[in-house]
Amino acid sequence: MSATTTRPASPAPAVALKRTATGEHPAIKWLLIGVSVVFMVLFLIIPLVAVFFEALKKGVDVYFAALAEPDALAAIKLTLLVAGIAVPVNLVFGVAASWAIAKFDFRGKSLLITLIDLPFSVSPIVAGLIYVLLFGAQGWFGPWLQANDVKVIFAVPGIVLATIFVTFPFVARELIPLMETQGNEEEEAALVLGATGWQTFWKVTLPNIKWGLLYGVILCNARAMGEFGAVSVVSGHIRGQTNTMPLHVEILYNEYQFAAAFAVASLLALLALVTLGLKSFIEWKTRHEHAVLPLEAPRQT
């Protein structure tokens, strides 16, 4: 150690400046963090815990009995059916719409983008009412539907329609920015190499958007299963026939069957947790895949 006779006069390490330009005083930092945490606990975590607590308060037997009850089973089945139709339909629509918007220029493109957002900006009740106005007994197509013995309102088709309407932005909103940033050079490269349009879609486009697509599908599914307002208007609340899970929860609650209501609600809460888990996984996965970023950022000439 004594071999070094002259120690380089290294400057005393400057006291590390914790405060960056945008950094605030530690007190403010902790205050903000505290406020957020308290808010989250009060409005998110306590209710979530309460759902499971109330559901299981009277024991596991009551919990499972409530789920195995025929009306509850019918509600679960209907919810799965509705999601099973609405999600694939929106998947196809979302891919088609975002493809059209991201890869082509056409008249009315901005109108289409605005329209895709419509279900987000309009109240779900209005969405439900639209379908009643169109397909209800007094609606535009009502007489024709009645004459041909087709039931839309107060039946499964109406619920499916309302759900599709409410959930159709999810996939498209997820894909449009993704496809716009990716551009269509890879598709052009595939075409020049002799691939057909179909091959190009399956081998080039789809693999590039798969995580964004999955993300959109998961959000779409969560909303399709949890939708209350629009479905409530068109359903008619017929037990065992046109009640989805959220509607069933409401009925049970109004009948003071709290344990049963919370038991069904806990399923929806569980769905939310699974969705969040998948969402984080996908976010982690996409970050991971894009972690090795291009060495040269593409420059535009």
Partner 1 sequence: MSIEVRNISKRFGSFVALDNVSLEFPTGELVALLGPSGCGKTTLLRIIAGLETADSGEVHFHGEDASDRDVRERKVGFVFQHYALFRHMTVFENIAFGLRVKPRRERPSKEAIRDKVMSLLKLVQLDWLADRYPSQLSGGQRQRIALARALAVEPKVLLLDEPFGALDAKVRKELRRWLRRLHDEIHVTSIFVTHDQEEALEVADRVVLMNHGRIEQLGTPEEVYESPASPFVFGFLGHVNLFHGRVHDGVMNVGDVALDAPDQADAKNAPAVGYARPHEFDVDRYSPGQPGIRVKLLRALAVGPVARLELERDDNAEMIEVEMPTALYRELKFAEGETLLVKPKRMQVFLKPDGVGASSTVSYGEAI
Site residues (vs partner 1, CB under 8 A): 185-186, 188-196, 199, 203-204, 207-208, 290, 292-296, 298-299, 301
C-beta separation of 220 from 87 below 8 A? yes
Interatomic CA distance for residues 220 and 75, integer angstroms: 19
16 φ/ψ angles, rounded to the nearest 5 degrees: -55, 125
CB of 138 to partner 1, least distance (A): 49
Within 13 Å of residue 167, how many CA atoms lie on the same side as its CB?
31
Q: Which two tokens stand for residue 101?
A: 């918007």
Apex CA 104: angle with CA 177 and CA 202, to 5°? 75
| Maximal CA-CA distance, the chain | 105
Cβ at position 183, least distance to partner 1 in Å = 9
Q: DSSP letters of 171-199?
A: HHHHHHHHHHHH-SHHHHHHHHTT--HHH
Closer CB to partner 1, 208 or 257, in the complex: 208
Shortest distance (Å) from residue 288 CB to partner 1? 11
Nearest CA among 262, 260, 266, 227 for reference residue 243: 227
Please say which residue, 27 or 295, places its beta carbon nearer to partner 1: 295
Which CB sits closer to partner 1, 162 or 204?
204
The minimum distance between CB 266 and partner 1, in angstroms, equals 39
Task: State the minimum distance, in angstroms, from the CB of residue 235 to partner 1.
Answer: 43
Nearer to partner 1, 155 or 191 (CB): 191
Q: How far is the CB of 284 from partner 1 (least distance, A)?
A: 17
Nearest to partner 1 of 200, 266 (CB atom)? 200
Q: How far is CA 94 from CA 81, 220, 232, in A?
A: 20, 11, 25
- How many Cα atoms are found within 13 Å in the side-chain-facing hemisphere of 278? 18
Q: For the residues of 19-81, what is the DSSP string, one character each?
A: --TT---HHHHHHHHHHHHHHHIIIIIHHHHHHHHHHHTT-HHHHHHHHHSHHHHHHHHHHHH
Separation between Cα atoms, residue 169 and residue 244, nearest integer Å: 21
Min CB(208)–partner 1 separation in Å = 6
User: Is the CB of 151 or the CB of 290 nearer to partner 1?
Assistant: 290
DSSP state of 201: I
Minimum Å gap between C-beta 100 and partner 1 is 19
C-alpha span between 71 and 269 (Å, rounded): 19
Which residues lie below 8 Å from residue 206, measured CB to CB, with a gap of 6+?
213
Nearer of residues 182 and 257 to partner 1, judged by Cβ: 182
Q: Give the nearer residue to partner 1 in terms of CB position, either 208 or 241.
A: 208
